[in-house]
Amino acid sequence: MLETVWLCIWGFLWAVYFMLDGFDLGLGVLQPVLAQDDGDRKAVYLAMGPFWDGNEVWLVAAGAVTFAAFPVLYAVMFSSFYSLLMLILFALILRAVSIELGEEARGPVWKAVWRGCLALGSFLTAFLFGVVFANIFRGIPIDGEGIYHGTFLTLFSPYALVGGLLFFLLFLLHGALWLAVKTDGPLQVRSVRSASRIWPAALVAAAAFLILTAFQTELYAIYLKRPVLVAIPLIAVAALFMTRVWIERAECFKAWVASCASIFSIVMFGVVGLYPLLLPSSLSATFSLTAYGSASSPMALKIMLGVVLVFIPIIAVYQGWVYRFFGGKVDVEAYTKH
């Protein structure tokens, strides 16, 4: 029972991270395209500035839960996905440095350099996280001792590439909608137009991913056994279509909330579909890592559950206050005066 609870917590934390940091990653890629002058660029930085580092807390929490609740999974993942995870780490560092130094840069050359670094770091983070999770859903060649029997290129199967593309396009759409929520005038118009153009590509990627999932994974098995769970992928699809409806009505905040729901549901679709697995083995089903076989001791899970039930709500309340406090439109003129 505790293992199931922790699997739900694990999936929830990852879904929240992608839902929140997704718009930052999308903004990072879109910034060189949508920002036409220094005022626009400052508006983009202000749209992500108060939030991006707080959103990273959920990534730390998800990683900590992986280590503490499922140490076997943590060990196998970090050995099997070592190269990919290091690339993600370097991309996150590059993004953070670009955000901090992009506003301080002097001269058009260095400004362009940091804008490019921000876009590159954001793109790699979004795409590679999609590749990692697609591999988790599909399974990787690990043996009974958790040793990886593949190469770096093994992780870039067609299914994994579609997963990476899906994450990238969803985050791109998410970022365009957030910028539309936080700005007005010509920049908002360009943001809404970009979201409208990105949406069809995201829909095609989502459809391709769901279809390939039926052939490349066993995720649909649990949904056939428990039809009530079909509500999860249905919510993902419905939310994606409602995103389009509200884009067309220029109701940007509602469109962004629907985008949140689609990202959250897509991640949970994979996590629920895996149950009770955590990381399938493509060599043999007997080598797959399960929530029960990879978990810490029952006593450790009980103690950590108490910690999580205290600190996760505190994080959520604090971050909710941050979003409320900085919830208005960005004010570039007031920022420039300071």
Average pLDDT of the residues in 113-138: 93
Residue 337 lies in a domain: no
The pLDDT tens digits of the residues spanning 60-87 come to 899 999 998 999 999 999 899 999 999 9
Residue 183 lies in a domain: yes
Residue 107 has pLDDT above 80, yes or no: no
Integer Cα distance of 277 and 289 in angstroms: 6
Residue 56 lies in a domain: yes
Residue 338 has pLDDT above 60, yes or no: no
The pLDDT tens digits of the residues spanning 219-258 come to 888 888 888 888 999 999 999 999 999 999 989 999 999 9
Residues in CB range of 6: below 8 A, 6 or more apart = 65, 69, 70, 291, 295, 301, 305
With bands split at pLDDT 50, 70 and 90, how would you rate the model's confidence at 337? low
The answer to whether the predicted template modeling score (pTM) of the entire model surpasses 0.85 is yes
With bands split at pLDDT 50, 70 and 90, how would you rate the model's confidence at 329? confident
The pLDDT tens digits of the residues spanning 138-154 come to 999 999 888 999 899 99
Residue 18 lies in a domain: yes
With bands split at pLDDT 50, 70 and 90, how would you rate the model's confidence at 336? low
Provide the CATH number for the domain around residue 142.
1.20.1630.10
Residue 214 lies in a domain: yes
Integer Cα distance of 173 and 121 in angstroms: 17
pLDDT, the chain, mean? 89
Beta-bridge mates of residue 148? 142
Integer Cα distance of 325 and 7 in angstroms: 33
Looking at residue 260, its pLDDT comes to: 95
CB count in 10 Å sphere of residue 189: 13
Residues in CB range of 1: below 8 A, 6 or more apart = none
Looking at residue 334, its pLDDT comes to: 52
Task: Average the pLDDT over each of 165-174, 201-210, 323-332 and give the range with the smallest value.
Answer: 323-332
Looking at residue 242, its pLDDT comes to: 95
Residue 156 lies in a domain: yes
Q: What is the tally of structural domains in the chain? A: 1
Looking at residue 127, its pLDDT comes to: 97
Residue 336 lies in a domain: no
Looking at residue 105, its pLDDT comes to: 67
Residues in CB range of 305: below 8 A, 6 or more apart = 2, 5, 6
Q: Which residue range(s) make up the domain with 175? A: 2-328
Looking at residue 27, its pLDDT comes to: 93
Read out DSSP for 80-145? HSHHHHHHHHHHHHHHHHHHHHHTT--SHHHHHHHHHHHHHHHHHHHHHHHHHHHHHHH-B-B-TT
